[in-house]
Amino acid sequence: MKNLKGKLVLITGGASGIGKIMARLMLERNAKVVIWDIDQASIDATKSEFSNQGEVFGFPVDVSNVEQVQETSARVKQEVGVVDVVINSAGVVVGKLFHEHTAAEIAHTLNINVAGSMYVTKAFLDGMLAQNSGHICNIASSGGLISNPKMSVYAASKWAVIGWSDSLRLEMKQMKKDVHVTTIMPYYIHTGMFEGVRSRIPILEPEAAALTIVKAIERNKTMVTIPGYIYRVTRLAQALLPIAVFDWFAGSVLGIYKTMEHFVGRKK
């Protein structure tokens, strides 16, 4: 989506974190923005903050609720217009050892991170196909590239997003449709979602991460890791090293396997 001017951009989780920053960046590019978020108060505050920067709309939606997604997408189409860009940014994480998870936590994580992204994309993809133009951007995680203790369910959800997202890209390519799909795999971002994480690899700043994502959409990138070397390093090491050696490299050299030891998450 090389020119975002006048395009209608829908961002889930758009009232906080990098979703909110991306909303502002899209308005700066003269796009119209639709914010979906589960928190009505945050939607109202964000709309008020951005009211003088362009056209911004907001709808409360639980993306894990397929009926809400379908009903609200119909409202968006009727009240605002055809969505040109969807950014699936809504996500949750529970930082626990797997045996400590409740069944409800497992279901909630998968429903928000995986099914939610699919529901939202499905709701707007037909419109993109009909106009033969559009862009889907799915925010996965570098956690979808490498296993990590106390992140098993979150990692599983992001592995699923990566597989689905890139399969969707290939489907659009085989169908010869001008609908682009970008899969984003960022490292930890300093938004509060991963509060308490300690990392030898620098934790990402939200502004820079959001700008990288928006530029990836503008340049029709397919798969993007932030920082860029994460994909190359992990994939090359996984391909060349025996599992025991890779575990030593990821755990002792990069320190990844201990990053979640002091995790507390976002305060409610």
In 3D space, the residue among 59, 58, 53 whose CA is nearest the CA of residue 29 turns out to be 53
Q: Tell me which DSSP letter residue 193 carries.
A: T
Catalogue the long-range contacts made by 94-103 (C-beta closer than 8 Å, 24 or more residues apart): 94/153, 94/154, 94/265, 95/150, 95/151, 95/154, 95/194, 95/196, 95/260, 95/263, 95/264, 95/265, 96/150, 97/149, 97/150, 97/152, 98/152, 98/153, 101/153
Which residue among 119, 154, 187, 257 is the active-site one? 154
Considering only the C-alpha atoms of the chain, give the largest distance between any 2 of them, rounded to a whole number of Å.
56
Active site residue 229: no
Cβ 73 vs Cβ 51: under 8 Å: no
H helices present in 51-148, as ranges:
66-79, 103-110, 116-131
In 3D space, the residue among 35, 101, 84, 41 whose CA is nearest the CA of residue 63 turns out to be 35
Fill in the amino acid letter for 265.
G
| Catalytic residue positions, numbered | 154
